[in-house]
Each structure stands twice: as structure tokens, then as C-alpha cells.
Amino acid sequence: MISTLFTIFRNRVFRLKGMILKAVFIMLGCKVGRGLKCKGFPIFRTFPRSNFYIGDNVNIGYRITFDVASSGELILHDNVNLTQDIIISAIERVDIGDKALVAEHVSIRDGDHQFSANEEIVRQPLSGQAVSIGNDVWIGAGVRVLKGSRVSSGCVVASNSVITKNVQMDEGGIYAGIPATKIGER
């Protein structure tokens, strides 16, 4: 009985936080769908503008960091679940499909520093290439999704794997390793 009441109370708190976050997003020009749940308020390295789109029934977990440049775009489609301790960085575009599950300690980045020997790294520009994560995908704990990557719909990516633009993924495949390779089918 007490655990049921606690669960009901906790879910209402998550919905209330989601309504507060939705109001902030809308004031900043973002598009936000219905049913946003927010376990912890995200960290914004840059303030969102109209370059954020959040679909219906998105769940934002604890300690989620959004680093979206003014030139970048972040799209979270319907029913995306971001668990905790995740960073999503977009200098171009990060697109996460419907019903995608992203486990803890995941890094999704569509850019990195250039590193010519002629100049200090800190002074060099960023280089970006869009990242696309399909529908019904499970990104396991500790995965790194790097610039130019495409995770096909229905894929499962095993914990601590690295997805690069050179990894060609089949729909419904199971991938693991550094760089990730196909190890099976769902």
C-alpha cells in the first residue's frame, strides 16, 4: 500500500517537473509535445532556442546534459527515454527516433575538435556531421555515439561500445565492441 502511494506521488512529481520544463522550453521557442516527464532538470551548456524539438511522452532522467550550439539541432521523437548521466552534444543535428531507450553514462556527439599540428587544439574549430538514431533502439550503458553515426531502427548496442560513422548497421541487429560490429539479430 505504501509503495503504491509512493509510486503515484513520485510519478506526479516527475510530471510536475515535466510541466515546468515544458513551460521553460516553450518560452525559449522550442517545440514540446504532451506528457513530458522529468526526473531531474537537465543541464544546459547553451540555452535552447527553436533548435530543440521534443515529442510526446519523452522521459528525461537524472543529470542529463544538453549541449546544442546555436547552429545545431536536437530532435527527441515520441516516447524517448533518457535514463541518467547522459550528454547529448549537437553542433549540427542529433535525431533520436521513437521509442529509443538510452541507458546511463552514454555520450552522443555529432562533433569533435580538429587537431592539425600547426595550431593549438584549443584554438581549432569543431568539425561536425549529423547523428541519427532510429526507432525502437536500445543504446546500452556507457556507449559512445560519435559524429556521422547512424544507428538503424530496431538495433541494440551493447554496453561500452563505440559507434562511428564507419559502422554500417542493419535494422534489428545487435552490435558490440570498439568499434561496434554486428554480433547477432534481435
Share of the chain above pLDDT 70, in %: 100
Residue 40 has φ and ψ, to the nearest 5°, of -140, 145
Cell of 124: 581549432
Q: What is the pLDDT of residues 22-59, one digit of tens each?
A: 999 899 889 999 999 999 999 998 877 889 999 999 99
3-state DSSP assignment of residue 51 = coil
Say what the pLDDT of residue 122 is: 82
Q: What integer is the mean pLDDT of 166-183?
A: 95
Q: What integer is the mean pLDDT of 117-144?
A: 92
Q: What is the pLDDT of residues 79-104, one digit of tens each?
A: 999 999 999 999 999 999 999 999 99
Q: What integer is the mean pLDDT of 104-121?
A: 89
Say what the pLDDT of residue 171 is: 95
Range of the domain at 15: 2-185
Q: Are 127 and 90 in contact (CB under 8 A)?
A: no
Q: Classify burial at 94, counting beta carbons within 10 Å of its beta carbon; exposed 0-12, middle 13-18, buried 19 or more.
A: buried
Pairing state between β 126-128 and 111-113: antiparallel
Q: Tell me, what CATH number does 83's domain have?
A: 2.160.10.10
Number of domains in the chain: 1
